[in-house]
Amino acid sequence: MTDANMLLEMKSINKSFSGVPVLKQVNFSVREGEVHALIGENGAGKSTLIKILSGAYTRDSGDILLRGKEVHVSHPLDAQRLGISVIYQEFSLVPQLNGAENIFLGRWPEKPKGWVDWGKLVDEAAHILRQMNVSIDMTVPVRTLSVAHRQMIEIARALSFHAKIIVMDEPTSSLTDKEIDTLFQLIRELKRQGVTIIYISHRLDESFGIADRVTVMKDGMITGVSDVSGVIKSTLIRLMVGRDIQDLYPRRTSKVGELILEVKHLTRKGVVQDVSFSIRAGEILGFAGLVGAGRTETMRAIFGADRLDSGEIYVRGKMVRINSPADAIKARIALAPEDRRSQGLVTCLTVAENITLANMSSVSRGYGVISRKLDREKAEQYIHDLDIRTLGPQQRVRNLSGGNQQKVVLAKLLNTKADLFIFDEPTRGIDVGSKAEIYQLMGRLAEAGAGVIMVSCELPEILGMSDRIFVMHGGRIVAEVLPNEATEEKILTYAVGGASE
Amino acid sequence: MKKEQTALGLGARSDHRTVYVRLFGVLERYGVVLALVLLVSIAGALQPIFLRPSNVINVLRQVSITGILAIGMTFVILNCGIDLSVGSIVGLTGMLAIMFQPHGLVVSIGSALAVGTLVGVANGYGVANGIVPFIMTLASLTAVRGIAFMVSDGRPVMGASDAYAWIGGGYVVGIPVPVLILGLILFAAYFILERTTFGRSVYAVGGNEEAARLAGINLTRNRICVYGISGLLSGLAGVVLTARMTSCDPAVGILFELDAIAATVIGGTSMFGGEGKVTRTVIGALIMGVLANVMNLMNISPYPQQVVKGLIILWAVLMDKFKQR
């Protein structure tokens, strides 16, 4: 059944990796000139589908039709030729070159004898930016630009190829609210000019704000297609996760015990200013604030990952010097870093090796010799306890989905036998199901008498999980609020530096 | 390009999938062994002399030096580094071992191993303090070679005691001593890398330095140990080599680092660190040794031999790329 309105159709697409199917008979179609949201949890297969569209992966079977005609896409250049451009989460700009040079990378206009025609290059870049109705300094290296501006340059590059279909993969994941507004304006502008947009996201609200139609994926299959008007959010959530999400945040009955950690006047020049707070056993502290407010830096300093310029750290009443992560682990402090791929995991190692990495003596019977039996048992125990979906302890971590990778990080933390757990953005880029499990785990840790600190940009989870909330701004703690008297607005006011206690 | 993120492990497990994964794993694990077996079969078919015990022992003995160096190099490359100084260390320590002969075996071998380790530790210290491994060990390569010429005034030194010569030319139950040493080192290296916490930290630091640091691994100590091991084994290679030649020239060992790197790469160790096996490195060294031997037996001149060696290295790297897919 071919619909005349359909610009792009992907039919019966199948794809497996190492024998494991990740796309099963996927039918995905997009109308000309619409903004089409493709939503689903992480690991649902959205990115794989798009990489097939862009020629980055080859499909095992299925057809791709453009305006009803079958097309061959087996290389990114094929997609480019057909007017399909993908803007990935990780940008493909050359950081040292400026915007104009990046937009026309590899296609700089030439004068005779091979000299670059710089004037023409700048003119054409400016022309595209005018078309997009944005203004960005095109004379500075793109590494000095904000993430939002770099994204604009990616989009400009797509337009320079006369792209008819622009795919944006989680375009808002590192943008501020204001930047998201600008992006949405641009998307509307592009739509007005007849460009078709495929918008991939796992954030529902956002997709609602911008899309005309929405396709939901789950476990490698399409579970629903609908116009955005006339669909209810809860229906989509059910299609995404296959169940209703209630009680996302666990109810806890933990009693607050002895003081676990107290920090006084922590200062790290330029990023952390005179930060003092304390946490008791059984407590969950939430740290809210904008990106760059100094929350991550504070936690890294406590954990010994970055040097402190001054300040004191007391663990269970005793002053300790923490000069390295090793010292922190000895003081029974554990940190789940902000970026699990670059800081939390050694992705080329196995699940078992990662789980035991921060406490290898837990699988050793002495002399630094690892017991294979203990190693396997430890890993299997955590795989079971945290419900990590893996082929086994010997599977490499890079082959796991985002949520399961984060669980491996958490298993590694648990295995350090810490009693203070610091989670930095523990649910970023993770599907709703895994999120709920991570909240449960944090709740259980607090109930078992550990102290838990959660740094997060997502206010609902800060409000839902915390016993006390600290708001940071400009490297300082500007407010401490209790969740029952806090609202998202109130926290945001503090976070932008609008008021202080 | 970022490594792809598949949804492996999502959905139900089924047996045939596991079989696929296993099959793939077997190929990945034993591909280089298969290559060696194939090579030996072809060699035996082309040149029956090749399979004679005397020739096989000869090949093994020739491979022993490269093998020992490559084992050290595997530690370094697994750690996401490179050690260009091993050839120079062989030259210097070989020189010292021969020169200190009059003071007895312990002093002569001990000084060679100690100096080798020392250079390695210096390399590790430099790398731990942020000097790029390539540059740090390039500096050592140059400086250490200079020292080798200085201590000997640029002249070769001859002569070795019987005990010393036994290290290079002796046999234990029919196995040449150098081959025995290679075997022992391989066993020790295998045990350290596979079964100790230190070995695991070598992989972890090579795979993701920042994650390893945040897991409490002391990077400085790790680097010093890794490069120290490479230096120690280079010193050992210097001893074995000069014991075989019963003489040493300060220019001995030039370009040995490249053979060691080649063996490691042919063995499938990733130049990006974190992935590889030391047993396969030795097989890589064997592949190079067998190839050279067969071509010698076939009277192929050394020039095309180098071309073939280059192609083999290229093939190994392409295999690695293919595996990453």
Q: pLDDT tens, A342-394? A: 899 999 999 999 999 999 988 888 889 999 899 999 999 999 998 888 888 98
Answer yes or no: do A349 and B21 touch at CB < 8 A.
no
Interface of B with A in 56-85 (CB under 8 A): none
Question: B180-202, pLDDT tens digit by residue?
Answer: 999 999 999 999 999 999 999 99
Name residues whose C-beta falls within 8 Å of residue B86's C-beta, 6 or more positions apart in sequence: B69, B72, B73, B230, B231, B233, B234, B237, B253, B256, B257, B260
Shortest Cα–Cα distance, B237 to chain A (Å): 27
- Looking at residue A224, its pLDDT comes to 86
Question: B139-184, pLDDT tens digit by residue?
Answer: 999 999 999 999 999 899 888 888 889 999 899 998 999 999 999 9
CATH class of the domain at B51-324: mainly alpha
Q: Does the pLDDT at position A291 exceed 80? A: no
Residues of A in contact with B195 (CB under 8 A): 369-370, 372
Stated as kind and residue range, the H or E segment containing B200 is: helix B197-207
Q: Kindly indicate the confidence band of residue A323, based on its pLDDT and cuts at 50, 70 and 90.
A: very high
- The encoded tokens of residue A433 equal 């199901």
> Percent of chain A, pLDDT > 70?
95
B162 touches chain A (CB under 8 A): no
Per-domain residue ranges of chain A: 6-241, 257-332+419-428+450-494, 336-417
| Secondary structure letter of residue A340 according to DSSP | I
Domain A6-241 has CATH 1.10.3720.10: no
How far apart (Å, rounded) are the C-alpha atoms in residues A328 and A358? Answer: 11
Q: Does the pLDDT at position A296 exceed 80? A: yes
Do residues B1 and A56 touch, judged by C-beta distance below 8 A? no
- Looking at residue B8, its pLDDT comes to 36
Least confident residue range of A149-158, A238-247, A276-285: A238-247
- The encoded tokens of residue A495 equal 């976070």
Do residues A213 and A231 touch, judged by C-beta distance below 8 A? no
How far apart (Å, rounded) are the C-alpha atoms in residues A16 and B21? Answer: 12
Stated as kind and residue range, the H or E segment containing A90 is: none
Name residues whose C-beta falls within 8 Å of residue A77's C-beta, 6 or more positions apart in sequence: A55
Answer yes or no: do A357 and B17 touch at CB < 8 A.
no
- Looking at residue A161, its pLDDT comes to 86
- Looking at residue B12, its pLDDT comes to 35
Question: A53-69, pLDDT tens digit by residue?
Answer: 988 888 889 999 998 88
Closest C-alpha among A241, A273, A303 to residue A432: A241
Name residues whose C-beta falls within 8 Å of residue A316's C-beta, 6 or more positions apart in sequence: A258, A259, A260, A261
Q: Which of B16, B208, B270 sits opposite A346 (nearest CB)?
A: B208
**Chain A interface disruption, residue of B28, B194, B208, most A CBs within 10 A:** B208
3-state secondary structure of B221: helix
Gyration radius (Cα) of chain B, Å = 21
Answer yes or no: do A400 and B218 touch at CB < 8 A.
no
**Model pTM?**
0.77
Least confident residue range of A39-48, A184-193, A397-406, B55-64: A39-48
B207 touches chain A (CB under 8 A): yes
3-state secondary structure of A98: strand
Q: Kindly indicate the confidence band of residue B271, based on its pLDDT and cuts at 50, 70 and 90.
A: confident
Residues of A in contact with B78 (CB under 8 A): none
Q: Does the pLDDT at position A253 exceed 80? A: no
B136 or A113, which is more confident? B136
Sign of CA dihedral A306, A308, A314, A319: positive
Residue type, A31: R
- Looking at residue B24, its pLDDT comes to 62
How far apart (Å, rounded) are the C-alpha atoms in residues B141 and B139? Answer: 5
Answer yes or no: do B197 and A328 touch at CB < 8 A.
no
Residues of B in contact with A91 (CB under 8 A): none
Two domains, one topology: A6-241 and A257-332+419-428+450-494: yes
B316 touches chain A (CB under 8 A): no
Answer yes or no: do A349 and B274 touch at CB < 8 A.
yes
Q: Which of A43, A348, A369 sits opposite B10 (nearest CB)?
A: A43
Answer yes or no: do B4 and A18 touch at CB < 8 A.
no
B110 touches chain A (CB under 8 A): no
Q: Kindly indicate the confidence band of residue A435, based on its pLDDT and cuts at 50, 70 and 90.
A: confident
Q: Kindly indicate the confidence band of residue B14, based on its pLDDT and cuts at 50, 70 and 90.
A: very low
Least confident residue range of A428-432, B31-35, B222-226: A428-432
- The encoded tokens of residue A178 equal 């204001």
Q: Which fold has domain A257-332+419-428+450-494?
A: Rossmann fold (3.40.50)
Answer yes or no: do A398 and B212 touch at CB < 8 A.
no
Q: Does the pLDDT at position B77 exceed 60? A: yes
- Looking at residue B7, its pLDDT comes to 36
- Looking at residue B2, its pLDDT comes to 35
Per-domain residue ranges of chain B: 51-324
Cα angle value A58/A61/A64 (rounded, 5°): 75
Q: Which of A220, A328, A390 sits opposite B9 (nearest CB)?
A: A390
Pairing type for strands A61-66 and A165-169 reads unpaired
Average pLDDT, chain A: 87
- The encoded tokens of residue A439 equal 């909240």
In this structure, chain B runs to a length of: 325
How far apart (Å, rounded) are the C-alpha atoms in residues A339 and A90? Answer: 13
Answer yes or no: do B13 and A391 touch at CB < 8 A.
yes
B4 touches chain A (CB under 8 A): yes
> What mean pLDDT do residues A420-443 have?
85
Answer yes or no: do A43 and B24 touch at CB < 8 A.
no
Answer yes or no: do B13 and A45 touch at CB < 8 A.
no
